[in-house]
Structure 1
Amino acid sequence: MKILIIDEMHESIMPMLQKEGHEVIYSPEITRDEILASVDIYDGLIIRSKTPMDRALLERATNLKFIGRAGAGLDKIDLEYMAEKNIKLFHAAKGNRDAVAEHALGMLLSLFNNIGKSDREVRKGIWDREGNRGHELAGKTVGIMGYGNMGKSFARRLQGFRVNILAYDKYKMDFGDDLVQEVMWEKVKAEADVLSIHLPLTSETRNFFTLQELKSFAKPFWLINTARGEVISFKTLNEALDQGILRGALLDVLENEKFQKFSPEQKAEFEKLASRDNVLFSPHVAGWTYESYEKINKVLAKRIKKTFKQ
């Protein structure tokens, strides 16, 4: 098959695909206009998030057999059109699930133990032990919303911390085991000390976490979001933190990740978030490790080979 790669990928992707006899064009600098002009000659596209795989583009991809998404999120892909045209979709959540899980746990332990705050203070000559007294995970109840690759991997990383794990997934059943208790959403809200979000971005999940939804939790809790920023706004986060509904927030993703395109309200709300010691940020890198960069390729190449084997 003739395959176009439109985003930067680990160099291993080329030999993996060429080994199976595919013609691979690696073009991470290609523009959307250039993709539109040439997409009709390709059997496969491998993408990250450069440009939406919307109907306008897919209608021109008259020979397309598959799209390989080097990551987990599918919110920029017209899944309905792909199903209508029988275009296969491969995504590589298994390739970065370990990275996401480790990152989420690392952020949680860092905030619980004031690592960032105390590091900044010590560098300034401030030796404040009481002001940096931490929390232990042991004995806490951790809620996981979304029990796919990422949620399950995060649950596994919690083994050994003596926590109670409650998992809710609207679209999965019978996944409970010795490690995780499968529960309804109401039980998560009744018992969670920590909530980790592992949801895709859909019309159903966008802005799901309103202030009213957060108020329905039985007690103040820490929020981890390594999924999609659009499930909760800056404004809601600030209101929940101000009111003590949230004890802290760990954010690898933001409702708007392009600082230069913040609205005036977003700018003000983000600056307020950024001033808080109980909020920890990272720049959408939870799944972005050196190891996952290569593992994603292996997952995609394996799925392409299995589906189109001679």
Structure 2
Amino acid sequence: DGNIIGVDDENVLSQDKGKVKLLESLALPGDVCVIGDGYTDYELREAGVASRFYAFTENVERPKVTSVADHVVPSLDEFLFLNNLPRSQSYPKSRIKILLLENVHPVARQAFEEQGFNVEFLKGALDEDELIEKIKDVTILGIRSKTNVTRRVLENAPRLIAIGAFCIGTNQIDLKAATEKGIAVFNAPYSNTRSVVELAVGEMIMLIRNVVTKSNGMHEGKWDKSANNSFEVRGKKLGLVGYGHIGTQLSVIGEALGMEVYFYDVVDKMPIGNAKKLKSLDDLLRIADVVSMHIDGRKDNKNVIGKREFELMKDGVVFLNLARGHVVEVEALVEALKSGKVWGAGVDVFPYEPKTNNEPFESELRGLPNVILTPHIGGSTEEAQEGIGHYVPERLLEYINNGSTTGSVNFPEVQLPLLKGSHRLLHIHTNVPGILAKLNNIFAKYNVNITGQYLKTNEQIGYVIMDVERSYEDGFIDEIKNVEETIKFRMLY
């Protein structure tokens, strides 16, 4: 029945302090280290037959054991690393700290923890000073749109190698500073596109049909059954400011609803379906019945829509901003709504947004009729967030474990084969002529055989990946690191 029915009295391990007696009988020379998860393992250290005790916490963590340990090791690789012993990994994953902010989807946390990384998860955003304090020992940072990663933050992040933006935009990250410091940035350019588009379509229909005003009246006990100021979207002109992933998909759905679609983009884009590209923003504003913003958050796009632009629009226009808060001058939008120039508006993004759900929302748009306000939830559907929660960690894990930069917004894109039987050297350097020659001279000097070599550059940096045979002389790696133009260097095996 699984019950213990006897014990081998002759086995020393069945006796009190049996482990101590056994180790004493072995009379092992030199330092003896004990690794275990139980108190009887510590007793070897307490009895003086072992010089150090390592509490092993991969499977179970017992406070009584960890409190008396010389070291706490969450993995065997950590133990091997601390004692400079041969190991399967170049660096223990348990020593790599990952900081995830802004309540990213739990599948992201799970993806990192399953591989043994040390993950800290916070629900809210952090301001600059808070992030500087947190980031000092962080290797990978995961954020959404509210946390700003400034140059000052990056200057205080000596261990940071990559940032994952769990959203489409990356304007909250100083990409130039990140690139200068050899920090790869990844985002999720497609994962929440459908969610944003669906919200835009829903708000557009509700505003044109005057549903918001009717619904608010019903809550106040007013029964207003009439067709006044209620219209179909069919036949209306949809004007898209920006024709990227979201703009193009909204274009397709708008056309399917029977709308005429027009767009303006500073970059030449091929129209999809019957959409028409206009030569200027002014042309689009003059013609559209619905204006929908879908541009990124770069500084040049601040107040793209202001008082002048609202004056160019048709009387009674419907206006949507699901892009970035600062691309629209809020005071001008409020004035246009109050004057009736803008019949209704749907706004999902704001120049200042609360960092957490506990902080109150303040805006001049509050209380205005026929205005739909949403708390930056364009991409906040379960499907989108789970998709992003899978996509961004996949890119980050590829980079950490393999060196591949597929999907990076600031690094040269390199898709690398799996590492097999070699050491992989990853060298990020300032993009100036002659670096590859310098590196190859070092290889020749130390007679190191290269089994694979890859190089990609952009305007700022070069990224060289070299797979080499495992045996090489002392000093070889240091000389690679000390090449003058080196920004960052890593080694994988």
Using structure 2 for the length normalisation, give the TM-score.
0.56
Equivalent residues in 2 for 1:108-257, closer than 5 Å: 108-130=204-226, 133-170=229-266, 172-184=267-279, 185-217=281-313, 220-257=316-353
Q: Classify 1:34/1:304 alpha carbon distance in 2 versus 1 (closer, same or farther; 3 Å).
A: same
1:223 positional shift: 0.6
Shift of 1:254: 2.7
Q: CA deviation at 1:301?
A: 2.4
Which letter does structure 1 place at the counterpart of 2:169? Answer: G
- Superposed, 1:26-175 pairs within 5 Å as 26-28=120-122, 35-37=131-133, 39-49=135-145, 51-130=147-226, 133-170=229-266, 172-175=267-270
Q: Cα deviation per residue 1:134-168 (whole Å; 9 max; x = unaligned)?
A: 11111111111112222223223324211111122
Picking from 372, 376, 395, the partner of 1:303 is 395
The alpha carbon displacement at 1:109 in A equals 0.9
1:294 is aligned, of 367, 386, 396, to: 386
CA distance in 2, matches of 1:151, 1:55: 31
Post-superposition CA distance 1:245-277 (Å, at most 9, x none): 322211112333348585xxx6xx435xx232x
Computing the radius of gyration from Cα coordinates, the structure with the larger value is 2
Q: Distance in 2 between matches of 1:159 and 1:200?
A: 23
Alignment identity in percent?
A: 27
Q: Kindly indicate whether the alpha-carbon contact (under 8 Å) linking 2:162 and 2:185 is maintained by their aligned counterparts in 1.
A: yes
Task: Report what 1:282 is aligned to.
Answer: 374
Query: Contact between 2:286 and 2:314, CA under 8 Å: does it hold in 1?
Result: yes
The 1:270/1:217 distance shift into structure 2, 3 A limit, reads closer
| Greater than 6 Å deviation, 4+ residue runs | none
Mean CA deviation greater in 22-31 or 219-228: 22-31
Q: Highest relative contact order (Cα 8 Å, sep 6+), 1 or 2? A: 1
Compared with structure 1, are the counterparts of its residues 236 and 133 closer, same or farther at alpha carbon in structure 2 (3 Å cutoff)? closer
Name the CA distance, whole Å, in 2 between partners of 1:124 and 1:37: 49
Conserved in 1, the CA contact under 8 Å of 2:252 and 2:273?
no
Structure 1 residues 261, 242: closer, same or farther in 2, change over 3 A? closer
Partner amino acid for 1:47? I
- Separation in structure 2 between the aligned mates of residue 155 and residue 57 of structure 1, nearest angstrom: 39
Deviates more, 1:77-86 or 1:234-243: 234-243
Judge which range, 204-213 or 29-38, deviates more.
29-38
Q: Distance in 2 between matches of 1:261 and 1:160?
A: 36
TM-score, L = length of structure 1: 0.85
Unaligned runs of 5+ in 1: none
Given that residues 243 and 269 in structure 2 are in contact (C-alpha distance below 8 angstroms), is that contact kept between their aligned partners in structure 1? no
Could you tell me which residue of structure 2 aligns to residue 7 of structure 1? 102
Whichever residue aligns with residue 25 of structure 1, its letter is: V
**Cα distance in 1 for residues equivalent to 2:113 and 2:274:** 41
- Quote the Cα distance in structure 2 between the aligned partners of 1:233 and 1:158: 26
Kept in 2, the 8 Å contact 1:6–1:28? The answer is: yes
Instruction: Give 1:112 shift.
Output: 1.5
Distance 2:101 2:138 in 1: 12
RMSD value, Cα? 2.6
Provide closer, same or farther for how the CA distance between residues 130 and 85 of structure 1 changes in structure 2, counting only shifts above 3 A: same
Asked whether the equivalents of residues 53 and 78 of structure 1 are also in contact (C-alpha less than 8 Å), the reply is: yes
Paired residues, what number? 300
SS in 1 for 2:300: coil
Against the structure 1 CA distance between its residues 175 and 115, is the aligned structure 2 distance closer, same or farther, given a 3 Å change threshold? same
Structure 2, gaps ≥5 residues long:
1-92, 403-417, 419-493
Shift of 1:53: 0.6
Larger deviation, residues 194-203 vs 146-155: 146-155
Amino acid at match of 1:275: L
Task: Report the alpha carbon displacement of residue 125 of structure 1 after superposing the two structures with TM.
Answer: 4.1
Alpha-carbon distance in 2 for matches of 1:230, 1:208: 9
- Aligned-partner Cα distance in 1 for 2:229–2:339: 22
Taking the aligned partners of 2:123 and 2:377, their CA distance within structure 1 comes to: 21
1:303–1:104 Cα change, 3 Å: same
Tell me which protein shows more helix as a share of its residues: 1
Cα distance, 1:133–1:194 mapped onto 2, change above 3 Å: closer
Query: Matched residues in 2 for 1:255 and 1:233: separation?
Result: 9
Q: What is the letter of the counterpart of residue 16 of structure 1? A: A
Q: Secondary structure at the residue paired with 2:284?
A: helix
CA-to-aligned-CA distance 1:170-208 (integer Å, 9 cap, x gap) = 1x3232132432222233123211110012223222122
After superposition, the C-alpha distances for 1:67-91 in whole angstroms (9 at most, x for unaligned) are 1011123232111101222321111
- Counterpart code for 1:66: A
Answer yes or no: is the 8 Å Cα contact 2:314–2:341 preserved in 1: no
The verdict on how the C-alpha distance between 1:144 and 1:65 changes in structure 2, with shifts beyond 3 A counting, is same
Report the alpha carbon displacement of residue 229 of structure 1 after superposing the two structures with TM: 2.0
Give the conservation status (yes or no) of the 8 Å contact 2:100–2:143: yes
What SS is found at the alignment partner of 2:141? strand
Contact 1:6 1:50 in 2 (8 A): no
1:35-75, CA deviations, whole angstroms, 9 ceiling, x for partnerless residues? 43453433321112453211111012223221101112323
Contact kept, 8 Å, 1:14 with 1:24, in 2: the verdict is no
SS of 2:299 mapped into structure 1: coil
